[in-house]
């Protein structure tokens, strides 16, 4: 579901899909559900869209810790996150 929220065009101005995705992720975490690589990449995508650098960095650290950062999709999502949050200066 988080991936769907991250990839969806928001047709309704009354529904904040990125916020819904973050809420769902928090609930999953509280329930002890271990996220997979797809979930983490989707979370990074949402963080990049929202400019949520702190959450994106925590997600990155978690992904490295559990071995989910070693693929092209994760690398691209991380680049998007850090570029959108203007971490790299010219």
Residue 85: pLDDT above 60?
yes
Residue pair 5/20 in contact (Cβ under 8 Å)? The answer is: yes
Number of domains present in the structure of the chain? 1
89 domain-assigned: no
Model confidence at 22, pLDDT cuts 50, 70, 90, reads confident
Residue 25 half-sphere exposure, CB side, CA atoms within 13 Å?
Answer: 24
Model confidence at 73, pLDDT cuts 50, 70, 90, reads very high
Q: Using the CB atoms, write b or e for 74-89: b if 16+ within 10 Å.
A: beebbebbbebbeeee
Domain that holds residue 76: 2-84
Greater confidence (72 vs 9) lies with 72
Q: What is the pLDDT of residues 26-58, one digit of tens each?
A: 888 899 988 889 889 989 998 998 888 998 999
**pTM for the predicted model, two decimal places:** 0.75
90 domain-assigned: no
Model confidence at 83, pLDDT cuts 50, 70, 90, reads very high
């Amino acid at each position: 579901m988080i991936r769907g929220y991250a990839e969806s065009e928001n047709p309704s101005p009354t529904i904040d899909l990125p916020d819904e995705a973050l809420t769902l992720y928090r609930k999953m975490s509280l329930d002890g559900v271990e996220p997979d690589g797809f979930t983490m990449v989707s979370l990074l995508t949402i963080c990049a869209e929202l400019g949520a650098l702190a959450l994106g960095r925590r997600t990155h650290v978690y992904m490295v810790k559990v071995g989910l950062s070693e693929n092209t999709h994760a690398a691209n999502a991380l680049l998007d996150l850090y570029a959108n949050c203007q971490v790299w200066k010219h």
